[in-house]
Amino acid sequence: MVPPVITHRPRGFHTVKNHPLSGITFPQWARLLLEHGDGIEVHRYWPRLAFLSAMSLFNSAGSLADSLLFGRAIARQELNPEPVFILGHPRTGTTHLFNLMSTDDRFAVATTFAV
């Protein structure tokens, strides 16, 4: 049996994957930096700042393309006045309920790739 590999990460190591702000667009990112940038230790967090800056530019380009391609269709779409939201603790059957409801034609659901 092979012993598990233990990786030591030095203090100050900061990951950039799965960051909650990785979906931000550039105007919002610039405003956030202007309002709260003085509280950021740039020398310590520069990899995260660089990653988020690059992602914000990429997201802005995608947002512009999305608006040009689908903006009118989205604006014309009527919304149900009584939407259904599925909320619950993990492992309580929320995904199963979602899957069951998605087979009913009375409900519209978003796929993983549509979100």
pLDDT per residue over 26-43, tens digit each?
999 999 999 999 998 898
Q: Compute and round to an integer the Cα radius of gyration of the chain.
A: 21
Confidence of residue 47 (pLDDT cuts 50, 70, 90): confident
pLDDT at position 9 over 90: no
Read off the DSSP letter of residue 98.
Answer: H
The answer to the question of residue 11 being in a domain is no
The number of residues in the chain equals 115
Number of domains the chain is built from = 1
pLDDT per residue over 87-108, tens digit each?
999 999 999 999 999 999 988 8
The answer to the question of residue 67 being in a domain is yes
Which residues constitute the domain of residue 82?
Answer: 26-102
pLDDT per residue over 53-70, tens digit each?
999 999 999 999 999 999
Read off the DSSP letter of residue 28.
Answer: H
The answer to the question of residue 113 being in a domain is no
